[in-house]
Structure 1
Amino acid sequence: MKNNSLEQKYNRLIIAVSIVIPVVVAILFGVKLKDFGFDVAPLSFLPPIYASTNGLTALLLIAAVVAIKNGKKKLHERLMTGAIAFSVAFLVMYVAYHMTADSTKFGGVGFVRYIYFFILASHIILSIAIIPMVLITYVRALSQNFEMHKKIARITFPIWLYVAVTGVVVYLMISPYYVY
């Protein structure tokens, strides 16, 4: 049974979260804890971990699609919840790293530099766009509005998968330039 009131209840929250997360991340990206007197060692071990969370998110997304196509709704739900959890974990680690370390500059030259910046820019733009899409898709499933859930999931899935995979690609391309 559809529960449109649940969707309506969460619409304002989805809008707020979709605005607040990118704004807070952008602000915190520029905050360095050392500038506020905190003696914090850079969390230089985090980039391969948060890149791995992106990879695991991609695997969970693919497994979730396979599960739902095989009629395993409960498994699909658990896998999607896991994908959301890994995305949140990525975000927390990403912000923590950037609050304790200077940004790493990409050192590649020539055509590969253009490829890197294209992938990075599309990754960042789509990572912002995917926030409300994931939340809307999730709430439609919670409200058992499966017809509308499937419609938006068909759009959400490839974008979210792209963001997860390109997160790993960006890490692999920039990792030789990290200073540990």
Structure 2
Amino acid sequence: MENNSIEKKYNKWILILSVAIPLVVALLFGVNLRKLGYDVKPLSFLPPIYATINGLTAIVLVTAVWAIKNGKQKLHENLMKFAIALSVAFLAMYVAYHMTSDSTKFGGEGVIRYVYFFILVTHICLSVIIIPFVLITYVRALAKNFDRHRRIARITFPMWLYVAITGVIVYLMISPYYQY
């Protein structure tokens, strides 16, 4: 199969997933099973775990770039698959936490409050925008269209790294306000 036809084959799925994932997350974010009468325990242990997953994702992304720059293509490929798996695990835990727990309000005041919300808003916006970028970048590698893969990876990498790092920062800034 020609490289472009492989990409075209996946374009529909990239579009579907790029729209469906944020919509489903937004819908599920508004569903609290406890408030709906289900007898579930809050999954309050999850935030430090999914923050750690974000940190690990950042390390994996940087290591993957190092690997490809040093000619270790198979290592790069495996690390990128791992980074995608980590992001999926993060998303599942994030949704599970918010479906079983009340949202935590940031309690900081003054300038730090504005800093927190700036980081949070940019993190959330880029976490939605990054979905099609990751998928397109992955499919271009799958299609062995490495010139086009490299071009979009130069955009995808810093965005994804920002989302991973700011996920940790958001957690660290809000963690004093969690109710355990």
TM-score (norm 2): 0.98
Distance (Å, rounded) in 1 between the aligned partners of 2:59 and 2:34: 36
Q: Aligned residue for 1:104?
A: 104
Q: Aligned residue for 1:137?
A: 137
Superposed counterparts of 1:103-122, under 5 Å: 103-122=103-122
Counterpart of 1:172, as a letter, is L
Residue segments in structure 1 that go unaligned for 5+ positions in a row: none
How far off is 1:35 after superposition?
Answer: 3.0
Superposed counterparts of 1:78-93, under 5 Å: 78-93=78-93
Q: Aligned residue for 2:16?
A: 16
Determine if contact 1:2/1:145 at 8 Å carries over to the other structure.
Answer: no
Computed over aligned residues only, the root mean square deviation of the Cα atoms, in angstroms, reads: 0.9
Superposed counterparts of 1:26-65, under 5 Å: 26-65=26-65
Determine if contact 1:50/1:93 at 8 Å carries over to the other structure.
Answer: yes
Determine if contact 1:57/1:164 at 8 Å carries over to the other structure.
Answer: yes
Determine if contact 1:2/1:144 at 8 Å carries over to the other structure.
Answer: no
Displacement over 2 Å in runs of 4+: none
Any idea what the Cα deviations from partners look like across 1:33-59, whole Å, max 9, x if unmatched?
Answer: 123331000000000000000000000
Count of residue pairs brought into register by the alignment:
180
Distance (Å, rounded) in 2 between the aligned partners of 1:79 and 1:92: 20
Residue segments in structure 2 that go unaligned for 5+ positions in a row: none
Tell me if 1:176 matches 2:176: yes
TM-score (norm 1): 0.98
Counterpart of 2:27, as a letter, is I
Any idea what the Cα deviations from partners look like across 1:136-180, whole Å, max 9, x if unmatched?
Answer: 000000000000000000000000000000000000000000000
Q: Aligned residue for 2:74?
A: 74
How far off is 1:2 after superposition?
Answer: 5.6
Counterpart of 1:47, as a letter, is P
